[in-house]
Amino acid sequence: EAQVTQNPRYLITVTGKKLTVTCSQNMNHEYMSWYRQDPGLGLRQIYYSMNVEVTDKGDVPEGYKVSRKEKRNFPLILESPSPNQTSLYFCASTRTSGGSYNEQFFGPGTRLTVL
C-alpha cells in the first residue's frame, strides 16, 4: 500500500530538548516536504526536498532542520524546541516525473506540544 508514515504521532516535550520526527514514503517519490498547521493560519511549508541531498527552505523554516540522505526518508529536526513550535506537523511526498504536477500524499500527522 502506497503511504507516507510519520513517527511519533503524538509527542509532548519540554523547551530545549532536541527531537526528531521521522517521515518515510514507499512510493519512490522525489519531492518531499514538511508542513505545520495552526488554527487560523492553515498549512504552511517548513522545508522541502527535490531529491536526495537537495533541500530548501519553505515559508517558515526558523527553528527547524531537515536532511535527505535517502530518497524514502525526510526527518524533521528541532534542535531546541520552543513553545511556539507546538503544532500539528505533516510530511508529504509527490512524484515529480513527467513534468506536470501530481497529487501530494500526506502522512497522518504528528501532534507536538512543547511545554
Residue number, 14 or 54, with CB nearest to another protein: 54
107: contact with another protein by CB under 8 A: yes
DSSP state, residue 9: S
HSE (side-chain half, CA atoms, 13 Å) at 35 = 17
CA distances, 69 to each of 49, 55, 83 (Å): 11, 10, 29
Nearest approach in angstroms of CB 49 to another protein is 10
Cis peptide leading into residue 8 (ω within 30°) = yes
Length of the chain, in residues: 115
Q: Which of residues 28-57 bind another protein (CB under 8 A)?
A: 31, 33, 35, 40-45, 48, 50
The span of 15-23, 66-74, 79-87, 100-108 binding another protein (CB under 8 A) equals 100-108
Find cell 517521515 and name the residue. 23
Residue ranges binding another protein (CB under 8 A):
31, 33, 35, 40-45, 48, 50, 58, 88, 90, 94, 96, 100-101, 103-104, 106-109
